Amino acid sequence: MNILQKIVAHKRKEVAEHKELYPLRLLERSIYFDTPTVSLQKYLTRQDKAGVIAEFKRRSPSKGDIQPYAQVEKVSIGYMQAGASALSILTDSHFFGGKNEDLRTARQFNFCPILRKDFIIDEYQLVEARSIGADVILLIAEVLEKDELKRLAAFAHTLGLEVLMELHSAAQLPKINEHIDIVGINNRNLNDFTVDIQTSLELAKQLPQDMIRISESGIRKPAEAALLKKNGFHGFLI
């Protein structure tokens, strides 16, 4: 079992536990169900923004601890003051050290699009995302079958959430459907965590021309961001 399979297996158990602890009827009482979401699509196409989606992450399976004691309010405010277009908040606890409260806190301190970065496999997680203040959810093509991905994306739209679909290979391109708002090309292979920015450059050529697109992972130099912009990318997850 590779790391991605381990994450998904654990996530299934976690979702089952959350359904018992926090029933849908409780989640739907959240004030955020009455609050309009902020469009990541619009922020990525603004001329006054660089398209940076700044990520808050305490740890990862590939790097271990990154900033285990970081305060999300300080980091997120700093990101936005530095010119970020949006925030990405990891909410997976077991593997990435995140929590739903991190996203709630980021929402309280920032008016910008916020992506819930997690391994979504169930409609329950979409309701959960809306209840904690997310504007955008991530659906990972490597994790979901084509029909599953389409069903979850359609349900996300009924909640007012935008959908970022993440892919890593040409074989996953057919999973793009009419409910996908943004495509993210992950330069990191989720099975072994190797990174290659050429993944974005090659797969971008095969995307629908009008598709809003971002590049994810491994972008460390301004020259790399400039190259991606030149090749049609609207933003970067950093």
CATH code at position 107: 3.20.20.70
Cα–Cα distance for residue pair 219/197, rounded to 1 Å: 7
Q: Per residue in 100-120, pLDDT tens?
A: 999 999 999 999 999 999 999
Cα–Cα distance for residue pair 136/142, rounded to 1 Å: 19
pLDDT category at 183 given cuts 50, 70, 90 is: very high
Q: The pTM is what?
A: 0.96
- The residue count for the chain: 238
Domain coverage including residue 106:
3-237
Residue 184: DSSP 8-state: E
In this prediction, residue 74 carries a pLDDT of 97
Residue 195: DSSP 8-state: B
Quote the crossing angle between the two packed helices 72-81 and 100-109, to the nearest 10°: 50
Domain count, the chain: 1
Cα angle at 140 between 139 and 146, to 5 degrees? 85
Q: Per residue in 36-88, pLDDT tens?
A: 999 999 999 998 889 999 999 999 888 888 988 899 999 999 999 999 999 99
In this prediction, residue 17 carries a pLDDT of 98
Give CA separation, 176 vs 47, 111, 115, 201, 233, in Å.
Answer: 26, 29, 19, 18, 17
